[in-house]
Amino acid sequence: MNAVELRELVPRALSVLVRRGADFATAEDAVQEALIRALAAWDDELPADPTGWLITVAWRAFLDMTRSDAARRDREVRFDTDPPADAIPNADDTLRLYFLCAHPDLTSSSAVALTLRAVGGLTTRQIAQAYLVPEATMAQRISRAKRVVAQAGVDRPGDTRTVMRVLYLVFNEGYSGDVDLAAEAIRLTRQLAALADDAEVHGLLALMLLHHARRASRTRTDGSIVPLADQDRGLWDTELIAEGVDIAHAALARDQLGEYQAQAAIAALHADAPRVEETDWVQIVEWYDELLRFADTPIVRLNRAVAVGEADGAPAGLAALAQVDERVPRHEAVAAYLHEKNGDLELAARLYAAAARNAPNLAERDHQTRQAARLNQHLQQHRT
Amino acid sequence: MAKYLLLKHYRGAPAPVNNVPMDQWTPDEVEAHIKFMNDFAGRLESSGEFIDGQALSPDGAWVRYDGEGRPPVTDGPFAETKDLIAGWMIIDVDSYERAVELAGELSAAPGANGEPIHEWLEVRPFLGAPSNFTH
């Protein structure tokens, strides 16, 4: 059993302990303790019933923790010391764990951290490394989150929608460390899709798979960005694309459209084009119009303007861009692209330079600087 | 060992020798510069002297307390602010001389025409913890 398979068992064990009456915070610590012991013990020999083993060890750890707590308080505790008789994990309890960890009272960074630990089975150290924060800071964030959940959570936990937002963030903001957070987000979304019968969860899963499939082509080895149009489509993972497209189709067939399915449809249309010239931009614009019904944000409108520029030409794209709030991040980058396409290279070069100044990260800054330099070189060669 | 902050400025440092804005360089010159910066950080990591490096957006604001029960006052960013930090690198080195040597190497990053930029970098020692031998 590898570490990922082992971590699959974590939410099941935790949900059994909670169902058994253990308080969430202590139960979560107990399962982590059991997980660490399992990592050491299972190297030699895998138990016949790994889930049962984990639950039993976690339950004993919980009792130890409660007893030593109780001893400090000099109080009597009465807990059944036998392993729980109802030690069979059930799907509803596991789903409820997802809801608890995405509780609306939690800040998004806390919900992300708690989900990765309590549902994902990652250690605090792994989560801290992934988000580039000190381990002590992450430990505090997680224990505060558990206190919030313990106080407010049980009566009105989050719902599928809040869980999806958390998983979307995990996928989107994975940085570094020894854990692949994008893959982890996909794993957890797969689990959620199996637990919750919701077309949008399948839409989110499809969206993640379709983006993940292009990962190898999105950056060069030095970390620089490769725009969609320049990506080597031979590097795209065709199996993941096929799976993503299938899941998206099946979700859309249920006729319960939502923003994740609309985004997945757009991603599927990109993935479908063997060459960038074969992209069906007209349909992509139609899907952006659908997406606007669910999420009318400046970012969606900005991306739509790019698609309109490809479908109907640069002037139409610029007209669509004129309707977008100029303060939205990457506005200058899109304006530069559309003006270049429209033949106004001087303006485009200035806008690329502005886009570089206002870029939200170094990779994008470098990318926009390269674009400005490319156009300025071109302009200079044609002036002389 | 002692820690030093190498500070890079958008504004506020004396003008560099090779003072051409980056978007006016050729794409190859941009490439060479980015590679130099990546290699520099990588080299410090392998020598065990690198602590941290971050770049800052030129955006930002001034903020101050405005009294009990009031939200903080924000203002700016001010175009007239003389000093605008662009980013930093924190190094842990044996001596001040080594910190200066490294800042000098960083300042030699290539710019327009592939020539070193000669950018002025600020080298600032950290106030460290009191040492055990002194008390």
DSSP of B56-123: --S---EEE--STTSPPEEE---TT-S-EEEEEEEEEES-HHHHHHHHHHHHT-B-GGG-B-----EE
Same domain, A54 and A31: yes
Query: Which residues of chain A are within 8 Å of residue B26 when distances are taken between CB atoms?
Result: 373, 377
Percent of chain B with pLDDT over 70: 95
Closest in A357, A360, A373 to B27, CB measured: A373
Assess whether pLDDT exceeds 70 at residue A83.
Answer: no
pLDDT of residue B99: 97
pLDDT tens for each residue of A204-228: 999 999 999 999 999 998 888 999 9
- Whether A102 and A73 have beta carbons less than 8 Å apart is answered as no
Same domain, A18 and A62: yes
On whether residue A353 sits in a domain, the answer given is: yes
Residue-range definition of the domain harbouring residue A262? 197-221+235-296
Assess whether pLDDT exceeds 80 at residue A152.
Answer: no
On whether residue A138 sits in a domain, the answer given is: no
Average pLDDT (A338-344) is 97
Assess whether pLDDT exceeds 50 at residue A76.
Answer: no
Query: Which residues of chain A are within 8 Å of residue B23 when distances are taken between CB atoms?
Result: 349, 352-353, 356, 369, 372-373, 376
Task: State whether A376 and B21 contact (CB < 8 Å).
Answer: no
pLDDT of residue A305: 98
On whether residue A148 sits in a domain, the answer given is: no
Q: Burial, A15: exposed, middle or buried (Cβ in 10 Å; 0-12, 13-18, 19+)?
A: buried
On whether residue A346 sits in a domain, the answer given is: yes
Same domain, A313 and A364: yes
On whether residue A21 sits in a domain, the answer given is: yes
pLDDT of residue A317: 98
Assess whether pLDDT exceeds 50 at residue A247.
Answer: yes
The residue of chain A with its CA nearest to that of B31 is: A370
**Does B81 contact chain A (CB < 8 Å)?**
no
Domain boundary among A30, A54, A72: A72
Closest in A223, A358, A374 to B27, CB measured: A374
**Does B21 contact chain A (CB < 8 Å)?**
yes
Average pLDDT (A302-315) is 98
| Confidence class for position A185, pLDDT limits 50, 70, 90 | very high
On whether residue A301 sits in a domain, the answer given is: no
Domain count, chain A: 3
d(CA A260, CA A206): 9
pLDDT of residue A263: 97
Better-predicted residue by pLDDT, A192 or A223:
A192
| Confidence class for position A46, pLDDT limits 50, 70, 90 | confident
**Does A373 contact chain B (CB < 8 Å)?**
yes
Closest in B26, B35, B57 to A373, CB measured: B26
pLDDT of residue B60: 83
Same domain, A267 and A330: no
Task: State whether A222 and B35 contact (CB < 8 Å).
Answer: yes
Task: State whether B22 and A358 contact (CB < 8 Å).
Answer: no
Closest CA of chain A from B134, distance in Å: 30
Assess whether pLDDT exceeds 60 at residue A234.
Answer: yes
φ, ψ (nearest 5 deg) of residue A348: -60, -40
Same domain, A289 and A313: no
- Integer-rounded Cα Rg, in Å, for chain B is 18
Q: Minimal CA–CA distance to A233: which of A269, A271, A195?
A: A271
Assess: ipTM above 0.90: no
Better-predicted residue by pLDDT, B23 or A252:
A252
**Does B119 contact chain A (CB < 8 Å)?**
no
Categorise residue A285: left if φ over 0, alpha if ψ from -120 to 50, beta otherwise. Answer: alpha
Closest CA of chain B from A357, distance in Å: 7
On whether residue A55 sits in a domain, the answer given is: yes
- 3-state SS of chain A: helix, strand, coil percent to 5? 70, 0, 30
Q: Burial, A72: exposed, middle or buried (Cβ in 10 Å; 0-12, 13-18, 19+)?
A: exposed
| Confidence class for position A331, pLDDT limits 50, 70, 90 | very high
Cis peptide before B77 (omega within 30 of 0): yes
Contacting residues for A18 by C-beta, under 8 A, at least 6 apart: A24, A27, A93, A97
pLDDT tens for each residue of B17-52: 999 999 899 999 999 999 999 999 999 999 999 999
Closest CA of chain B from A222, distance in Å: 8
d(CA A309, CA B66): 47
Domain boundary among A54, A72, A90: A72
pLDDT of residue A378: 94
Q: Minimal CA–CA distance to B86: which of B6, B3, B4?
A: B6
**Does B49 contact chain A (CB < 8 Å)?**
no
Q: Domain B2-130 adopts which CATH fold?
A: Alpha-Beta Plaits (3.30.70)
The residue of chain A with its CA nearest to that of B59 is: A358
Contacting residues for A156 by C-beta, under 8 A, at least 6 apart: A104
On whether residue A356 sits in a domain, the answer given is: yes
pLDDT of residue A74: 53
In the predicted model, what is the mean pLDDT of chain A? Answer: 90
C-alpha of A120 from chain center = 12
Domain boundary among A72, A94, A115: A72
Query: In the A/B pair of chains, how many CB contacts fall below 8 A?
Result: 41
Better-predicted residue by pLDDT, A303 or A90:
A303
| Confidence class for position B97, pLDDT limits 50, 70, 90 | very high
Query: Which residues of chain B are within 8 Å of residue A340 when distances are taken between CB atoms?
Result: none
Provide the sign of the torsion angle of the four alpha carbons B126, B128, B133, B135, taken in this order.
Answer: positive
